[in-house]
Amino acid sequence: MLFRGVSSPLTAALPFRRCCFCASRSNDRTGPPRGRTIHLAMTLDIGCGKKKQEPRAVGVDREPGSAADVLAELRHFPWPIRDNAADRIYLSHFLEHQPDIMRAMREVQRIAKPDAEVIIVTPHYSSPDSYTDPTHLHHLGLHTFDYFERDSFENFTYGAGGFRILERSLTFGGNLLLDNLGRFFAALSEDFYEKHLAWIFPARNIHCRLQALK
């Protein structure tokens, strides 16, 4: 099974839960019979909120009003998802809400198949959006994701390696003058932009694509 059974300490404690699921969602979130086996495309959207990044993705969220196919408390570990479950994992506007980012990334590495793609979107620390939401616990920069690379991780002791950065970039808003200036300087040198210009020409989001290494 993709998701662990109802005997899991995590899922057993949830007031709403679906530990397994079928391709067509129903309004009953109490879960199908114990031991049911499923076979679906292995794309997970962790912390999917009200809109999944891909319609075919399996959404996981803690909120009953979300677009989740599976409800789980993602601030508690381990997540009720088996090892090596997914070929692609979305973390869109998720990490900034996590009390323990390093532990969450260890879970992502655990549930990812070897060479799985992990797509992260999070507000850049210069964005007003990073500070507006009172549930945001972290303000992240482009080099935050260096800590998740296996080679870089050898120099640290935080306990979350196992990824390779495939690409990362900044996005900006729609102001024709200021946002385009931010894009221009970030394209010349993202390091120079972050160090000297981020608070003058704020970015919007960080997009980062990782590969899980096992």
Q: pLDDT confidence of 66, banded at 50, 70, 90?
A: very high
Number of other residues whose CB lies within 10 A of the CB of residue 202:
21
Cα distance between residue 129 and residue 205, in whole Å: 9
Residue 117, pLDDT score: 98
pLDDT digits (tens, 9 = 90+) for 146-196: 988 876 656 665 666 799 999 999 999 999 999 999 999 999 999 999 999
Residue 2, pLDDT score: 66
Least confident range of 6-15, 26-35, 147-156: 6-15
Cα distance between residue 96 and residue 130, in whole Å: 8
Residue 153, pLDDT score: 58
- Answer yes or no: is pLDDT of 40 > 80: no
Phi and psi at residue 58, to the nearest 5°: -90, 115
pLDDT digits (tens, 9 = 90+) for 45-65: 999 999 999 999 999 999 999
Count of H-run helices and E-run strands, the chain: 6, 7
Q: In the chain, where are the structural domains located?
A: 9-173+204-212
Average pLDDT value for residue range 138-150: 92
Answer yes or no: CATH 3.40.50.150 is held by domain 9-173+204-212. Answer: yes
pLDDT digits (tens, 9 = 90+) for 67-123: 999 999 999 999 999 999 999 999 999 999 999 999 999 999 999 999 999 999 999
Nearest to 212 by CA among 168, 167, 166: 166
- Answer yes or no: is pLDDT of 5 > 50: no
Owner of token pair 């049911």: 36
